[in-house]
Amino acid sequence: MSEVIATSAGQRRDFVVVSTAQFSMAFALNFVLVFLPFYIHTISPLGDAATLRWTGLIVGAAPAMAAFGSTFWGGLSDRFSPKTLFERGMLSHAILVTLMGFTTDLRLLLLIRIVQGFMGGISTIGLIIVAAISTEKELPRRMGTYQSALTLGQIFAPPLGAMAAAAFNFRGAFLASGLMLFGVWAFAHLALSRIPLQPRRPAAGAIPRRQIWLAWLVSLVGTMHIVFLPSVLPTILRGFEIPEPRQLVTAGLIVFAYGMAAAAGSYGFSRLAGRIPVGRLILATSLGAALCQVFLYLGSGPVAFTLIRMAQTGCAAGIFPLILAQIATKTQGKTIGLINTARFAGNALGPIMATFILSQSNLPTLYLVLGAGLALAATGNYLGTPAGGKSAEAGC
C-alpha cells in the first residue's frame, strides 16, 4: 500500500515538474516571438509587402518543421526515455535562440527557425509524459492543466519580452531568452524522474483512423485562430493610429490579455468534460471562436478589439485539450505526436495565411476565412464522429 502511495506521489511530483518546465519553456520562446516580427521589419532591406511575406515565413517556419518532426520524436518514446527527449529539445532551443540574437540576414534567420522547429517538439514529449503518469480519470484534468501551463507561459512572456526589446535592444532580449532556456533544461534534468519507455499499444480498441484525422483538422484550424494575430499586429495597430513608439508595448499587452483568456478557456472547458459530452463541448467552443473571429472586424479601437479577441481565444483554447483527452488513453506516443502536429501546423499556417491574405486583400477577408474554416472543420468533426462524439467520450 505504501509503495502505491509513494508511486502516486512521485507521479504527482513529475506532473508538477513537467508542467512547470513547459510553462517556463513557453515563456522563454514567446518572450522572443512577440518582438520577432518587429525585429524582422528592422533588419529587412525589402519593401513593406515583401517584408510582410518574409515575416510570415520566418514566424511560421519553426512550427511548420515541428509539425513534420512531432510524430517522429513521439515515435521515439518507445526506444528512448521521454525524459532524455524532453531535455534534448530544451537544449536545442537554448542554443538556437541565442544564435538568433546575432543574425541580421533574413535567409539565415529563416534557416535557424527551420532547424529550431525540427529539433523542437517538446510539448509532444510532455504530453506523452503526462499520459504515462496519469490514470484515465485524471487525464482530462491534467491535459487541461498542462495546456494551461503552456498557455500561461505564452501569456506572461509577451509584455516582458516587448519591454525587454524596447529597453535593452533586440539582441539583449534574445540573449535573455537563451539564458532562461538553459535554466529550464537544468531544472528538468535535476528534478524530473526517469520516465520509462512507452510500449506500443495493441490495435484492438484503437480509435478509428477517420476520427483521428477529423480531430486533427479541427485542432489545426483552432490553433490557427489562437496564433495568427501577432504576425499582423503591426498592421492592425497602425490602423488604430497608435503612435509607433507605443506599438511594441501595446502589442505585448494585447497578447497578454487574450493569452489570459486562452489559459482560462483551456482549463475551464477541460473541467466541464465530466459534465457535458465532450463532442458537444468541442462543437460549442469551435463555433463560439468562429463567430468571435468574424466579430473582430467590429473592434474599432484597441480596447474593443482586445475584448472580442479574448472571447475568441477563450473558446478556441478549449478545443485542443478536449480532443487530446478523448484519444490519449487509447493511443501510443506516435499517435499523440500526430495529433500534436495539428498544433504545430496551426502555429505555422496561422501567421503564413494571415500575412498572405492581408498582403493580397484586407482584414475582413482574413477574419471571414478563418471563422468559416473553423466552423466547417468543427461541424465535420462532430458529424463524422460516431454518435456525435459519444463513443469517444466513453474513453475519457
pTM of this prediction exceeds 0.85: no
Q: What percent of the chain has pLDDT over 70?
A: 84
Q: Which helix (H) or strand (E) holds 363?
A: helix 363-384
Q: At what angle do helices 122-132 and 333-360 cross, to 10 degrees?
A: 140
Contact predicate 251/158, CB 8 Å? yes
The pLDDT of residue 311 is 93
Contacts for 308 with CB less than 8 Å, ≥ 6 apart: 292, 295, 296, 298, 299
Residue linked to cell 506500443: 200
Give residue-wise pLDDT tens across range 18-51. 888 888 888 888 888 778 888 888 888 887 778 8
Backbone angles phi, psi at 104, to 5 degrees: -120, 5
The pLDDT of residue 207 is 66
Q: How far apart are CA 336 and CA 206, in angstroms?
A: 13
Contacts for 32 with CB less than 8 Å, ≥ 6 apart: 97, 100, 161, 173, 174, 177
Please choose, from the candidates 343, 390, 317, the residue with its C-alpha nearest in 3D space to the C-alpha of residue 70: 343
The pLDDT of residue 292 is 93
Residue linked to cell 463560439: 288
Q: How far apart are CA 305 and CA 386, in angstroms?
A: 38
Give residue-wise pLDDT tens across range 307-326. 999 999 999 988 888 887 66
Query: Domain residue spans in the chain?
Result: 2-393
**In angstroms, what is the C-alpha Rg of the chain?**
20
**What Cα–Cα distance (Å) separates residue 210 from each residue in 50, 203, 207, 213, 214?**
39, 15, 8, 5, 6
Contact predicate 245/162, CB 8 Å? no
The pLDDT of residue 229 is 87
> Which CATH fold topology does 2-393 show?
Growth Hormone; Chain: A; (1.20.1250)
Length of the chain: 396
Percent helix, strand and coil across the chain, each to the nearest 5: 85, 0, 15
| Top-ranked range on mean pLDDT: pick from 58-67, 86-95, 233-242, 367-376 | 367-376
The pLDDT of residue 288 is 93
Contact predicate 5/154, CB 8 Å? no
- The stretch 341-357 carries a mean pLDDT of 81
Contact predicate 247/37, CB 8 Å? no
Q: Lowest mean pLDDT: which of 64-68, 198-202, 245-249?
A: 198-202
Neighbours of 84 (CB within 10 A): 14
Q: How far apart are CA 287 and CA 379, in angstroms?
A: 9
The pLDDT of residue 308 is 93
The pLDDT of residue 206 is 59
Would you give the end-to-end CA distance of the chain in angstroms?
Answer: 27
Q: Residue 270's pLDDT band (boundaries 50, 70, 90)?
A: confident
